[in-house]
Amino acid sequence: MEQTYIMLKPDALERGLMGQVLSRIENKGYKIVKAELKQLGEDLIKEHYAHIADKPFFPELAAFMTRGPVLALVVEGDNVVEGMRTLMGPTNIKEAQPGTIRGDFATNMTENVIHGSDSTETAQIEIKRFFG
């Protein structure tokens, strides 16, 4: 069974969206096999976002991701990586359609409610990074 890493970002928890987002995941037929509230530190943020750490918006992103807890998840199901990417919607909220998590809940490019692995390879790296 395929697994992916999903993270509900601080804005999702601050706005009380956790239940709605988890329901969407489960209603799609996916199984949440691990869940843990975590307060992320700067070192973990730098590792996780190493591919964009040199971008001018990175300090704002790091401040956002460390301002409150996140909910780290391992989600399992058939074709779950691609399915979750569709369920989440594009990172660019201007492109996110209504009915997707980001289309319905994201407020801007940084505060876009959810992160999901973009491939099975990335999923395994991120699951190890956040769950050991």
**Residue 105 main-chain phi, psi, to 5 deg:** -120, -25
Task: Report the catalytic residues.
Answer: 115
φ, ψ of residue 74 to 5 degrees: the values are: -110, 120
Angle (deg, nearest 10), helices 18-27 and 80-88:
130
Instruction: Decide: 92 and 109 in contact? Cβ < 8 Å.
Output: yes
- What residues have CB less than 8 Å from 7, skipping those under 6 apart? 70, 71, 72, 73, 114, 115, 116, 130
User: Is the Cβ–Cβ distance between 112 and 8 less than 8 Å?
Assistant: no
